[in-house]
Amino acid sequence: MSLLQAAPDQIAVAARRVMARCDELARVSATTDGIERVHLSPEHARVNRLAAEWMRELGMRTWQDAAGNQVGRIDPVGAGAGGVGGGAGGAEHPALLLGSHLDTVRDAGRFDGIVGVLMALEIVRLLRVPAAGGWAVPLPFALEVIAFSDEEGTRFGKALLGSSAVAGTWDDAWWDLADADGTTLRQAFLEFGLDPGRIGEAARRPDEVVAYLEAHIEQGPELDRADEPLAVVSSIASARRFRLVVEGEARHAGGTPYDVRRDALLGASEAALAVERICAAEHHIIGTVGQFEAFPGAVNVIPGEVQLSLDLRGEFDGERDRVWRGLTAELDEIMGRRGLRWRAHEVHAAAAVFCAPLLQDVIRTGIAATLPPRAEAPPVIFSRAGHDGMALGALTDVGMLFLRNPDGISHHPDEAVATGDVAHGIRALAESVLHLASEPR
Ligand SMILES: [Zn+2]
């Protein structure tokens, strides 16, 4: 059932504007031959100014919050001015938050995060009547678009700084994180014109917020393989990360017969292959060895020690933990057979964040409104990549919609999305907002 009263060409224009603005934002980069826009950089300030301009053009009230997130808000017709800007508090209506992030990895694509912020602006445009300054449909909540300042963690090595501040889960230990030049997060805040002492003002109260909805490109090929433009996201996978150390014995490469070698590199190699074999046999688990270093690292010495990383993620924490236990038994066997020792140090652990069933429903209904009658139900997939919703899950219900990513390439200049899919996504997200508005509260 379609609730949106928008002509198809209005949506097509909106999608083209999103694509043109992705190009415009791609030009705001610290490098001339690629895209790089990190937290609290001059480029961060420039894209916030651009986003604020685009928000004001839609009649939104704008502010940059205490964590450097750019926010725009529009209240429903008949509501007072409200005012959560700058942490003043006291809004009359709770707000539905729509957004994503504007920061990037190094040598990034132009759509990861960005397309979600720009689509959110088009939702605001479609749901209001510019002439009357009000809503085309009576929404029972305010709409806020949030462009998060840091999702990727490129500069300080800690992801989700912007959304953690909004969720009220800021950790003061983060102030001492330093970038590659030794600038601490605290110094960077000051240089950007933000007051670290006011970080708490970026935090929102659960009663100020209805929910958080985000559109994002899929960072894998599932939708492309299924020939589907859009999907409902069921959950955002959680990762556990380990540093593994395999110990053997460093000895002369010429003088040591095979039967007495304790080669740490060969044991670690078997371990990496076991990660692939065990995870590939699982339905919803993915494991990756991304770092691998042999010591002493000489051409004529049998490796006596290898350090390797393991990133293990899955839709369900319990499944992921069961796979880790299976892997440890496998590693015991491999290392025992080769006369090696091994140990693991866990460096990161996060719990999966489930998208709220009600929001999955409204997004499913929203996507269905873009499909021909009697089409199959839209696909439901889990996100293998992290998103701002992981942090927002501590504050409010989270819903996500994925857009097809041809070839599934992301965090790379070849990252892509089709204008037609963005159009479908805009319509689906607008329909989702209207369906959420029509839910009894
Ligand atoms: Zn992203």
Q: Is residue 166 part of a domain?
A: yes
Number of structural domains found in the chain: 2
pLDDT of amino acid 79? 56
Q: How far apart are CA 214 and CA 115, in angstroms?
A: 10
**Boundary residue ending a domain (335, 350, 365):** 350
- State pLDDT tens for residues 231-284: 999 999 988 999 999 999 999 999 999 999 999 999 999 999 999 999 999 988
Between the CA of 182 and the centroid of ligand 1 the distance, in Å, is: 26
CA contacts within 13 A on the Cβ side of 289? 20
Q: How far apart are CA 103 and CA 248, in angstroms?
A: 43
Between the CA of 124 and the centroid of ligand 1 the distance, in Å, is: 21
Between the CA of 77 and the centroid of ligand 1 the distance, in Å, is: 32
Is 396 exposed, middle or buried (CB count within 10 Å of its CB: 0-12, 13-18, 19+)?
A: buried
CB 99 within 8 A of CB 73: no
Q: Is residue 74 part of a domain?
A: yes
Question: Same domain, yes or no, for 109 and 245?
Answer: no
Determine how many CB atoms are found less than 10 A away from the CB of residue 27: 11
Q: Is residue 1 part of a domain?
A: no
What pTM does this model have? 0.88
Between the CA of 339 and the centroid of ligand 1 the distance, in Å, is: 43
Q: Look up the domain containing 98 and give its range.
A: 8-236+353-438
pLDDT of amino acid 284? 86
**Boundary residue ending a domain (350, 376, 404):** 350
* Coil, strand or helix at 271: helix
Question: Same domain, yes or no, for 293 and 381?
Answer: no
Residue that has been written with the tokens 């005012």 in this structure: 83
Between the CA of 354 and the centroid of ligand 1 the distance, in Å, is: 17
Please report which helix (H) or strand (E) contains residue 308, including its range: strand 305-314
Between the CA of 102 and the centroid of ligand 1 the distance, in Å, is: 8
Residue stretches of the chain with pLDDT short of 70: 77-91, 129-137, 441
**Boundary residue ending a domain (350, 370, 400):** 350
Question: Same domain, yes or no, for 185 and 293?
Answer: no
Please report which helix (H) or strand (E) contains residue 341, including its range: strand 341-349
CB 165 within 8 A of CB 199: yes
In CATH, what number is assigned to the domain containing residue 186?
3.40.630.10
pLDDT of amino acid 28? 97
Q: Is residue 3 part of a domain?
A: no
pLDDT of amino acid 135? 63
Question: Same domain, yes or no, for 272 and 392?
Answer: no
Question: Same domain, yes or no, for 278 and 341?
Answer: yes
Between the CA of 260 and the centroid of ligand 1 the distance, in Å, is: 49
Question: Same domain, yes or no, for 264 and 328?
Answer: yes
Question: Same domain, yes or no, for 62 and 189?
Answer: yes
Residue ranges with CB less than 5 Å from ion ligand 1: 112-113
Between the CA of 387 and the centroid of ligand 1 the distance, in Å, is: 6
Question: Same domain, yes or no, for 180 and 54?
Answer: yes
Question: Same domain, yes or no, for 315 and 422?
Answer: no
CB 44 within 8 A of CB 192: yes
Question: Same domain, yes or no, for 187 and 258?
Answer: no
